Amino acid sequence: MTSKKKVQIWDGNVRDAALTILIAVDKNQAYSNLLLNQTIKKYKIDAKDRALLTEITYGTLQYKYTLDFYLEPYIRTKIDLWVSWLLRLSLYQVVYLSRIPAHAAVNEAVEIAKKRGHKGIASMVNGVLRSIQREGLRSIDEIGEPIKKLSIETSHPQWLVTRLIESYGVEKTTEMLHENNVPPTLTVRVNSLKASPEEVLKMLEAEGINAKQSTLMPECIHIASGQVTHTECFKTGFITIQDESSMMPANVLNPKAGWRVLDMCAAPGGKTTHIAERMNNVGSILATDLHPHKLDLIDETSNRLGIDIIQTAPVDGRKASELLEKESYDAILVDAPCSGLGVTRRKPDIKYTKREEDFESLHKIQIQLLENAVKVLKTGGRLVYSTCTVDRLENEGTVHEFLASHPEMELVPIENLPNELLKNQQNGMLQVFPQDFGSDGFFVAAFQKKGES
């Protein structure tokens, strides 16, 4: 069942565009969020179609294993990759989207199959989907092995389910895996250099945006509806898009006006600009990143927000101490590369592309970054380590290994966060889970350099 037909990515057909994105994610290990945004931007897709495209693309990815479990009894021959994704995409709509009539989803699948393949494929797609409609979904309860059942139910690899249960137990892991399939709330950070949250809320309301201030982080606003990036409020730099959890590091770093600060893995610049706002745009920040092209994003955001104390430089943080002056920074943020398990709901492909060996290699990079940060941090200076993962090796494991080889560094209590967050602090480290506040999973730890021991 092969097809060599070329299919354009956007011809007004939302489902066909979603299928193209899903195939690219699978074949090229492309990032679903980037492809989705590129597609929406390139083809100027309107709000209604944009919402459906986003929902069915992410939803199909999020429930890939679950959908395969439902489809398995009805697929009796080897099928092409695109046909597999078409079946998943169509069944996702039938099972999870009550406002889309099942017959409409099936009919659309058949038409796409005809366009991309031939009548034989269309007939097979129609037969599979109609059979499931007629006979009903097989029950996940028939899976006797608990970890496999949880894996299929939440669509996470079994090895990952096992790893998380070993770290956090069955109850917390189950909550987390289910939460990973809940669409995220869009949040923005108020630019304190320009306005208060109350003033920004009035501006957004005047532009037709339904929003409310967070009860957790005062500078955070939750967007309920409306295209916030199209507003003058956004364009003129009163707000910037950032997840609520990722607002923690700048607050924990707590930099003062006039300080010299280093942000070692800075792109795309959300935390860097937050640090600048905390410093009242007074002092200096060096924002470095391994990828030079990503530094343009920091410059663009800084300009939009009216921040002029940030300089950018293409520096591999693992070699920072060879390029930067020793003991010259008052504060350093190491928001390290990580497995990203805390942002699975935003990037569902993470579940399927990560491998168990990745954690050890990431852990080594994290240690190297911290090793370099220490050398350029002043005695008495503050170092904050953060990740957007929930993996214990990358978080507590990295902290403990780092401390073991650096007696001049000590963990200090995390401060300058709401009490609701601080009560979860353990031994100077804070792990936020996706289910805690409906934000991303995030980890933060704070150190101070006390001098050689």
- CATH number of the CATH domain containing 224: 3.30.70.1170
Confirm whether 303 is domain-assigned: yes
The per-residue pLDDT for 28 is 82
**Whether 236 contacts 282, CB under 8 Å:** no
Confirm whether 385 is domain-assigned: yes
Tell me how far apart the alpha carbons of residues 35 and 445 are, in angstroms, rounded to a whole number. 33
Q: What is the CATH number of the domain that holds 42?
A: 1.10.940.10
The residue from 226, 241, 256 where one domain ends is 241
The residue from 82, 107, 138 where one domain ends is 138
Nearest to 334 by CA among 374, 279, 293: 374
For residue 192, give Cα distances in angstroms to 67, 275, 327, 441: 45, 11, 30, 25
Confirm whether 5 is domain-assigned: no
Tell me how far apart the alpha carbons of residues 214 and 197 are, in angstroms, rounded to a whole number. 10
Tell me the per-residue pLDDT of 40-68, one tens digit each, with 9 for 90 and over: 887 778 878 888 899 999 999 999 999 99
The per-residue pLDDT for 418 is 94
**Whether 358 contacts 339, CB under 8 Å:** yes
Confirm whether 74 is domain-assigned: yes
Show the 3-state SS of 37-53: HHHHHHCCCCHHHHHHH
115 & 191 share domain: no
306 & 160 share domain: no
Confirm whether 8 is domain-assigned: no
223 & 154 share domain: no
217 & 308 share domain: no
Tell me how far apart the alpha carbons of residues 130 and 139 are, in angstroms, rounded to a whole number. 18
264 & 367 share domain: yes
- Active site members: 388
Least confident of 103-107, 259-263, 332-336: 103-107
Quickly tell me which residue has 């607002």 as its tokens.
247
What is the dihedral sign for C-alpha 356, 361, 363, 365? Answer: negative
φ/ψ bin of 21: left (φ > 0), alpha (ψ from -120 to 50), beta (otherwise) = alpha
Nearest to 332 by CA among 290, 397, 381, 387: 381
325 & 215 share domain: no
121 & 170 share domain: no
Tell me how far apart the alpha carbons of residues 218 and 418 are, in angstroms, rounded to a whole number. 9
Ranges assigned E (strand) in 178-328? 186-190, 210-213, 220-225, 239-241, 260-263, 284-289, 310-314
Those residues with Cβ within 8 angstroms of residue 31's Cβ, 6 or more apart along the chain or in another chain: 25, 347, 349
5 vs 197, more confident: 197
Q: What is the mean pLDDT of the chain?
A: 93
261 & 381 share domain: yes
The per-residue pLDDT for 3 is 36
The per-residue pLDDT for 380 is 97
pTM (two decimals) = 0.93
Tell me how far apart the alpha carbons of residues 347 and 61 are, in angstroms, rounded to a whole number. 9
The residue from 179, 200, 233 where one domain ends is 179
Domain residue limits at 166:
146-179
Q: Please, what's the b/e burial string for 54-89 (b: 16 or more CB within 10 A of its CB; e: otherwise)? A: bbbbbbbbbbbbbbbbbbeebeeeebeebbbbbbbb
Confirm whether 326 is domain-assigned: yes
230 & 274 share domain: no
The per-residue pLDDT for 288 is 97
Tell me, what DSSP letter sits at residue 393? I
111 vs 8, more confident: 111
Tell me the per-residue pLDDT of 241-295, one tens digit each, with 9 for 90 and over: 999 999 999 999 999 999 999 999 999 999 999 999 999 999 999 999 999 999 9
333 & 265 share domain: yes
Number of structural domains in the chain: 4
The β-bridge partners of 411 are 447
Tell me how far apart the alpha carbons of residues 313 and 133 are, in angstroms, rounded to a whole number. 57
The per-residue pLDDT for 1 is 35
- pLDDT at residue 377 is higher than 50: yes
Tell me the per-residue pLDDT of 409-435, one tens digit each, with 9 for 90 and over: 999 999 999 999 998 898 889 999 999
159 & 105 share domain: no
Confirm whether 1 is domain-assigned: no
237 & 250 share domain: no
Confirm whether 328 is domain-assigned: yes
